[in-house]
Structure 1
Amino acid sequence: MKRRVLLQLALNAPLLGIGTSGLAGLLVPASATAAPANGPQRKPEPPTAAPSRRLLVIDPGHGGRDPGAIGVRGTLEKEITLDIAREIARRLRGVPGVAAKLTRDTDIFLPLAERVAIARDAGADLFISIHADSAPNRDARGLSAYTLSDKASDDFAFALAKQENLADGSGGIDLRHTRPQVAAILSDLVARHTVTASLMAKSSLVEGAGRSLRLLDNPKRSANFAVLKAPDVPSVLIETGFLSNPRDEDLLRDVAQRRRIADVLSRELADVMTSAPFA
């Protein structure tokens, strides 16, 4: 992503003895500043740009020693999320201009901070965490989406975030060993972009999915989810349903219904990835 390259150059420029003008020079092709040689010159051919692909990192919630929610019939959230996430990734890999990567492709445990680190290290344009939790209210059912907020949009979202953040005892990302200027620049330069893109993705996903799938009442919510705390990667947590609700559990246990959910989400994610301003 271009903003990451520029950020790294800006951080390293003082250490390399490069001033502002020198930094600008690094961004200009040498041919643009070179003195003309004697004799006729061939007109340089324009460079052929490689096709740009936006990267979606899909995070199947829970895994390994952390089963996540367990339904009345014994359905494990970690298995539901992995199956849906795999299918979304498979479908998106056939979409031009989109690349898909999973944080886990097997039944392994990943700390919340590591899931975020995978997305950041890969240079993700969007991070989606897939879940099927237990709801505070057993009557609650349907798909919903959540973005990061210090203050939860409601008690329901607050309870979900509190439950999710206990998955590995982490309340957030450990930045103790991050250089202060790096954290400050990230927060200042990209936080606005990250928040805006996250909200746009959440809105688009919910509105699009709502044409085909049942939605939770008030399906666009926010709370302080630790897994959404990448400062430079737009992030959304999707609840595909709630295993605490018998009807949702029956639906999520059905392979055909999981394929339907994956089909709808992959369709909407493809639209988001090819139209939203993530580049």
Structure 2
Amino acid sequence: MKLKWKTRLKNVSFMILFLKMCLIFGQKKIILIDPGHGGKDTGAIGMYGIQEKKVVFNIAKEIVRLNKMVLNDKFEMYLTRYKDTLISLNDRAYLAKTLNADLFISLHCNASQNNAKGIEVFVHNSDSRFTNEAIELGLAVSNETSGKLGFKTRGLKFANFQVLRETIFNCPSILLEIGFLTNIDEANYLSSVGNIKALAMCVLIGISNYSN
């Protein structure tokens, strides 16, 4: 009788462990997309008056939409802002910690007084256990945008940006500078709704490739 009960308890324990493992492996990665600037902070203003805050917000919304419509909600995605409001850098980082985000991706556009162009990815240079993963994430996204869309790659660089500094010890985090609004070709590209969708898809594919 005791032997039977022991066997049953072992079976129950195994089933509980199995269910826990299923829950762990079945959990979606939580990804926080951070469209930079907002509200009174327009960010860079480029050719034809194109505003950085609007471009990155449109890309961010499209990433979330494509995750739902194309990837069937593969990821659990959130934005740091859902309208044209200014969110402090502290609050953006705090939201990543509160959500226990698995990835943090901050979207920006560049500006320059010369005719610079291309995409840059920034990672915080720290001794965090997530630094190498952030580099891998940054390269995965950069490779997609340059490989499929033909953007010049300006490389992966280290920077002490606040949103990176305050998130890198919680999860892999990158800051993506998507083209130069002061470059006429890239400003034209970023003014097109179809191109915004293509950019968002490439960023999403890069995230997915990294996560697989």
Fold in common (TM above 0.5): yes
The answer to whether structure 1 residue 257 and structure 2 residue 191 are counterparts is: no
1:268 to 203, 206, 210: 206
One-letter code aligned to 1:130: L
Distance 1:62 1:216 in 2: 24
TM-score computed with the length of structure 2 as normaliser = 0.85
Q: CA contact under 8 A between 1:52 and 1:97: conserved in structure 2?
A: no
* Counterpart amino acid of residue 87 in structure 1: E
1:139 to 105, 110, 115: 115
| Greater mean alpha carbon deviation, residues 107-116 or residues 91-100 | 91-100
AA of the residue aligned to 2:75: V
SS at match of 2:180: coil
CA distance in 2, matches of 1:261, 1:217: 14
- For 1:83, the equivalent position in structure 2 comes to 58
Q: Which residue number corresponds to residue 248 of structure 1?
A: 186
Q: Deviations over 1:83-111 (max 9, x none)?
A: 00010112123356421111111111011
Number of equivalenced pairs: 197
Distance 1:133 1:218 in 2: 12
Alignment of 1:156-235 (within 5 A): 191-229=127-165, 230=167, 231-235=169-173
Establish whether residue 127 from structure 1 lines up as the match of residue 104 from structure 2: yes
Paired amino acid for 1:46: M
Determine which of 40, 46, 67 is the counterpart of 2:42: 67
Q: How far apart, CA to CA, are the structure 2 residues paired with 1:95 and 1:138?
A: 42
Q: CA deviation at 1:195?
A: 0.7
Cα distance, 1:267 vs structure 2: 1.3
Q: Give how far 1:217 is off.
A: 4.7
Per residue, is there more helix in 1 or in 2? 2
Contact 2:146 2:152 (C-alpha < 8 Å) held by counterparts = no
In structure 2, C-alpha distance between the alignment counterparts of 1:112 and 1:138, rounded to whole Å: 28
- Structure 2 residue 15 is matched with structure 1 residue 46: yes
Assess if the C-alpha contact under 8 Å between 1:144 and 1:215 holds in 2. no
Give distance in 1, aligned partners of 2:163 and 2:152: 21
Q: CA deviation at 1:227?
A: 1.3
Normalized against structure 1, the TM-score is what? 0.66
Where 1:238 maps in the other structure, the secondary structure is strand
Percent identical pairs in the alignment equals 27
- Return 5+ residue gaps in structure 1 as ranges: 1-36, 151-190
Q: Residue type matched to 1:209 in 2?
A: T
Q: For each residue in 1:205-237, what CA deviation from the matched residue of structure 2 results, as whole angstroms up to 9, or x when unmatched?
A: 212322112334532222111111112221111
1-structure distance, mates of 2:4, 2:93: 54
SS at match of 2:49: coil
- In the TM superposition, what is the alpha-carbon distance from 1:38 to its structure 2 partner? 4.4
Instruction: State the distance in 2 between where 1:212 and 1:259 align.
Output: 13
1:138 to partner: Cα distance: 2.8
Residues 162-184 of structure 1: CA distance to partner in whole angstroms, max 9, x if unpaired? xxxxxxxxxxxxxxxxxxxxxxx
- In the TM superposition, what is the alpha-carbon distance from 1:144 to its structure 2 partner? 2.0
Bigger-Rg structure (1/2): 1
Contact 1:140 1:245 in 2 (8 A): yes
Which residue is 1:148 aligned to? Answer: 124
**Structure 1 runs (4+) greater than 6 angstroms displaced:** none
Distance 1:98 1:140 in 2: 34
